[in-house]
Structure formats: C-alpha cells, structure tokens
Structure 1
Amino acid sequence: MTEILSNSVYFGVVISVLGYSLGLWVKSKLKWGVFNPLLISIIFVILVLVIFNIEYESYNEGAKYLSYLLTPATVCLAVPLYQQLQLLKNNLKALTIGITTGVLSSLTTVTILSKFFQLTDQQFVTLLPKSITTAIGIGVSEELGGIITLTVATIILTGIFGNIIAVSVCKLFKITEPIAIGLAIGTSSHVMGTTKALEIGEVEGAMSSLAIVVAGLVTVLLAPLFASFPII
C-alpha cells in the first residue's frame, strides 16, 4: 500500500483536497474558529504520511501542483477591492498610515522577541516576513539569508492564528469600523486572514485584500533595515 501511494502522481493532490474538505466539514458542524480548515488539513496530511510511512518528497511530488493555483487565487482578491475603489480613494491617507503602522508593529515585535530569546541572525530574518503573503515572504527571506522552509511554516501559522482570533480580537477591543477591521486582518495575517475578512463583510474583505499587497511592499522595503539590527 505504501509503495502504491508513494508512486501515485495524484496521491499528494488527493489527500490535500480530502484533508481540506474534511476541515470544511468539521468547521461547518462545530462552528468554532479553532477548527480552521487549513489547520485540520495540515494535521490530516501529517497523520496520513506518518501512518503509511510515506516520505514528504513523495507526497510533494503530486501536491506541488496545487501551489500553481496560489497566484491566480491571490489575484482574485482584487475583485472585491475593485468593487470598493471609491472607498479606497476616499480613505487613502488613513489606509496608508494604518498599513504602515501594522507592518512596523510586526517587524518591531519580531526584533524584540528575537533579541529576548537570543535567536541567531538567520533565525531572526527568517521570522521577519511572517505576516505577509507566502509569494512575497519567500523572496524576502531568501534575500536576507533566512531559512525559507521555516519562513513558509511561520507565514502559514501566522495566517491560521489570525484567521482564528480575528473576530474575537475585534470584539474584545470593540473595533466595529469595517475599514479598520479589514486593514488589521490583512496586514497581520495576509491571505488566510482575508478569507475571514470576506466572511465578515464585503468592505472588510476589500480592505484586507488591499492590505496584503501594500503590507508586502512595505515589508520588502523595511525588512532589510530591521535585518541590519544586531541581535546577538
């Protein structure tokens, strides 16, 4: 069985889709934010690989084709942004300041915690792009000399965590302005957070989509500056 699964071209795609479908089903039944479909699919895939003793490389040989859909899926986020174009123009100053502040907060937090936990410079720069979308984060990590695989894992975990707690945080701090909600979610938890913003409302989704792009660009500009700070 293990050999058959390992040699199948479709194995990686099939268990990835099955895992995510299972996650959607669990989320629809239990309605709890902690049961994030992506998180459940990750756990499902790991369990399948461990149980059947399948190498990650064998799984990724088929699953990698799903990654090709990442770019067009991200581009589709421009649709709600276009629909709220006038809102964007009317709040351009607030949007720019809000997103830039969010990026600065993320980079500063990583810098302080890296210093506190005495991380190496390589580990430090690996964590810097944690809040931006994977496509941009990989490039930033590679440019700064980080560990790309860990950067991807950190970005995914950040997105899942943001998706789970977004609504609760907004309720806790009584944030009700749709623009503020969207910007906060998109700036801190990129595409995965944006899926939650789209569930909340059209304006929230549009602003979160905008935040993904702008936050990525601002991070590309500021990350090298933060990376020059001595950690050790």
Structure 2
Amino acid sequence: MKSFLTDSVFLGVVVSLLTYEFGLWFKKKVKIAIFNPLLISVIAVMVFLVVFHIDYADYQEGAKYISYLLTPATVCLAVPLYEQFELLRKNLKAVIAGIISGVFTSMTCILVLALLFRFDHQQYVTLLPKSITTAIGMGVSEELGGYVTITVAVIIITGIFGYITADAVLKLFHIEEPIAKGIAIGSASHAVGTAKAMELGEIEGAMSSLSIAVSGILTVVAAMVYANLL
C-alpha cells in the first residue's frame, strides 16, 4: 500500500483536495468558526501521512502542483474590487492610510517580539511576511534569508487565526464600517481572512482583496528596511 501511494505522481493533489472538501463539509455541519476548512485539511493531511508512514517529500512531489494556482487565484480577487471601484475611488485616501497602518503595525509587532524573545536575524526575517499571501511571502522570506517552510506555516496560521477571530475583534472594537472591516481583515490575514470578509459582505470582500495586493507590495519594500533593524 505504501509503495502504491508514494509512487503515485498525484498523491499530494488528491489528498489535499479530498481533505479540504472534508473540511468544507465539516465546517457546514458544525458551523463554528474555529473549524476552518484549511485548518481541518492541514490536520487531516498530517494524520494521513503519519498513519500511512509517507514522507513529506513524497507528498510534496504531487502537492506542489496546487501551489502553481496560488498566484492566479490571488489575481482573481481583483474581480470583487472592480465591482466596487467607485466606492474605492471615493474613499481612496482612507483606504491607503488603513493598509499602510496595517502593514507597519504588523512588522513593528514582529520587531518588538523578536527583541523580547531574542530571535536571531534569520528567525526574525522568517516572520516578517506573516500577514501577506503565501505567493508573495515565500519570495520575501527567501530573499531575506529566512526559513521559507516556516514562513509558509506562519502565514497559514496567521490567516486561519484571522478568520477565526475576525468577528470577535470587530465587535470588541465596535468596527461597523464595511470598508474598515475589509481593510482590517485583508491587511492582517491575507487570502484566508478575505474568505471571512466575503462572508460579511461584498464591500468587505472587495476592500480585503485590495488589501492583499497592496499589503504584499508594501511588505516587499518595508521588509527590506525592517530586516536591517535586527
């Protein structure tokens, strides 16, 4: 059985898709935010690999093909933004200010925590791109000399955490403006958080989609500066 599974070129793709579909089904059944489909999928894949004694490298050989879809999937988020373009034009200054604040708040928090926990430079730069989409974050981490695999894991955890806590945080700080909600979620928790923003409404989803792209670009530039601070 192990030989059959490890020799299959598309093992990673099939396992990833099936576990994610299971996550979607389970989320609809329980209707609790903490049971995010992506989180359930990650756990299910880990269990599968352990039970069948399959090396991660064998799984990744097939799963890597899904990664090729990350960039086009991110670009497709421009569609809801296009539909709300007039709203963006009217609130452009506030939107840009919100995204910039989100990016620099995220990176400053990483710097402070790195100093408190005495991270070395490589550990520090690994965490800098935590709040941007994986497609961009991997490149930033590699360029700065970080641990790319850990960066990917941190980005996923950040997104899932944002998805789970978005409603509670918005209520805690009494944020009711749809544009503010979208900017906050998108700049803090990238594409996974944007899924939550789209559940909240079209405006929230559009603004969150914009935040992903702009935050990614700003982080590429800002990370180069912040990397030299530690």
* Normalised-by-shorter TM-score class: over 0.9
Residues 31-70 of structure 1: CA deviation (Å, up to 9, x unaligned): 1100000000000000000000001111111111111221
What is the match of residue 163 of structure 1? 163
Give, in whole Å, the separation in 2 of the partners of 1:220 and 1:44. Answer: 33
Question: 1:154 maps to which residue?
Answer: 154
How far apart are residue 213 of structure 1 and its match? 0.8
Name the SS for the 1:154 alignment partner.
Answer: helix
- The alpha carbon displacement at 1:176 in A equals 0.8
Listed as ranges, the matches of 1:1-232 within 5 Å are 1-230=1-230
For structure 1, the 5+ residue unaligned runs are none
1:59-110 CA distance string (max 9 Å, x none): 1111111112212211110100000001111011001111001111000000
Q: Which range moves more in the overlay, 115-124 or 140-149?
A: 140-149
Distance 1:137 1:61 in 2: 21
In structure 1, C-alpha distance between the alignment counterparts of 2:41 and 2:133, rounded to whole Å: 19
Q: Could you report, residue by residue, the CA deviation over 1:119-155 in whole angstroms, capped at 9, with x for unpaired residues?
A: 1010000100000111111111112111111111111
Letter in 1 for 2:54: I
3-state SS in 1 of match to 2:22: helix
Where does structure 1 differ by over 3 angstroms across 4 or more consecutive aligned residues?
none
Q: d(CA) in 1 for partners of 2:144 and 2:15? A: 34
1:12: Cα distance to partner? 1.1
Superposed CA deviations along residues 170-216 of structure 1, whole A, max 9, x for unmatched, are: 11211110000000000000011101111110000000000001111
Query: Aligned partners of 2:170 and 2:224: how far apart in 1?
Result: 31
Deviates more, 1:28-37 or 1:215-224: 215-224
- CA–CA distance in 1 between the matches of 2:228 and 2:181? 32
Distance 2:89 2:202 in 1: 16
User: Helix, strand or coil: the match of 1:228?
Assistant: helix
1:22 positional shift? 0.9
TM-score by length of 1: 0.97
**C-alpha distance in 2, partners of 1:18/1:92?**
41
- Please provide the CA RMSD for this pair: 0.8
Specify the code of the residue in structure 2 equivalent to 1:45: V
Which amino acid in 2 is paired with 1:115? Answer: L
Q: Report the Cα offset of residue 10 of structure 1.
A: 2.3
Alignment partner of 1:174: what SS? coil
TM-score normalised by structure 2 residue count? 0.98
1:129 counterpart SS class: coil
In structure 2, how many angstroms separate the alpha carbons of the residues matched to 1:208 and 1:220? 18
